[in-house]
Structure 1
């Protein structure tokens, strides 16, 4: 799977109804169905990383939306997003129905609530998987995982989502294209 980097988040994609993981698949020439993504949603307490990313107090309530994404029945990665309750309560972002959270996914929902995503910071690193990750992602012995941390903010700098992903390293290519700053 080719992960499109910055292009996967293009506003024209999610504003026209395409979610990021579907954009990756389409760019790779692969099909997807809403059943390729599971959802588990719960109201929980912000741990230190979530609290720092969303500018909240440790233990503040947050919605956690955990997904397992598969391709042709094989798990490719997990992605768990965290949101302030006041930003997403009553939306499809807190609905556990499998698949994306509606047309355009979470970014379209946030935009409809006046919280349009404008800036994303991603940090990626590799490590060996935990035993639970090895089982969940059906990894062969010795395969590392790529860890993704993503913070999404509005134009005003207000963070509206923090996400942690665990990706099977052999199942992804990461590709970024961007304008070089002055």
Structure 2
């Protein structure tokens, strides 16, 4: 004889609906029955059903569309950035790894420059780049990347001013066939190693806004450091990615 189920009724309903979604009874893109229909099915009041739906929305399993209903979230093909994304092998294509990956999925990739400016870095960033935190020693570039009309990640890049000064890094359209990394190489900094620090977290309100994040979708944050042939850091980039549309692939030797 089993004990009494002490879960709140909304949680019980959410758990049953989740099982139906995960088992495929409700497939991606399918509209769930209305709150009234679910209330009749489960013998519950509509407020309880609405609370159960909200649980699933916060988990990222369903989306609520005003005036249309509740739908099982479609599985997005991930834009996967590999550990080889800075490899020279992509140069002859004339496309960045992001644009190549978008093209593979039949999507149009593009980016929008939000800001470019010389700044005084915070102490942690200054230490990482080995520059002064007491002067405007860093150039910051901020971009947002889109796959079709979906913003998929926001990118902030910090470059020592001694490298960026007088170069195309200060321009919206970087005037080099190999982008910013082509300019770095001309300045004597050839990428020899990368350091990526990866974390997953829930988004800030600002990130929800500029990435158009549905409820319950976390972000992947990657703090990337480029290290040159002399072991010196010359660029740091922070990627804030939609976790439902992005993935990372690492294929590296074990040291």
Q: What TM bracket, shorter-length normalisation?
A: 0.7 to 0.9
C-alpha separation in 1, matches of 2:187 and 2:122: 25
Q: What's the CA shift for 1:108? A: 1.2
Aligned-pair Cα RMSD in Å: 2.0
CA contact (8 A) 1:41 1:66 kept: yes
CA contact (8 A) 1:121 1:152 kept: yes
Q: 1:65-84 counterparts in 2 under 5 A?
A: 65-84=141-160
197, 202, 209: which is aligned to 1:123? 197
Q: More relative contact order in 1 or in 2 (CA 8 Å, sep 6+)?
A: 1
Q: Which residue among 116, 139, 146 is the counterpart of 1:63?
A: 139
1:92 equivalenced with 2:165 (yes/no):
no
The match for 2:239 among 165, 171, 181 is: 165
What is the aligned partner in structure 2 of residue 4 from structure 1? 81
Give 2:208's match in structure 1, choosing from 109, 128, 134: 134
Q: Tell me, in whole angstroms, the C-alpha distance in 1 between the residues paired with 2:208 and 2:86.
A: 28
Unaligned runs of 5+ in 2: 1-77
**Distance in 1 between the 2:134 and 2:210 partners?**
27
Give the secondary structure class of the aligned counterpart of 2:157. strand
**Does the C-alpha gap of structure 1 residues 45 and 115 become closer, same or farther in structure 2, counting only changes over 3 Å?**
same
Structure 2 counterpart of 1:42, from 111, 114, 117: 117
TM-score under structure 2 length normalisation: 0.63
Q: Which 4+ residue blocks in structure 1 deviate beyond 4 angstroms?
A: none
Worse overlay, 139-148 or 54-63 = 54-63
TM (norm. structure 1) is 0.87
Residues 103-114 of structure 1 mapped to structure 2, 5 A cutoff:
103-114=177-188
1:101: Cα distance to partner? 5.8
Matched pairs, number: 176
Say whether the 8 Å CA contact 1:15–1:108 is kept in structure 2: no
User: In structure 2, the residue corresponding to 1:177 is in which secondary structure?
Assistant: coil
Match of 1:53 among 112, 119, 128: 128
Kept in 2, the 8 Å contact 1:150–1:163? The answer is yes
Separation in 2, partners of 1:87, 1:59? 18
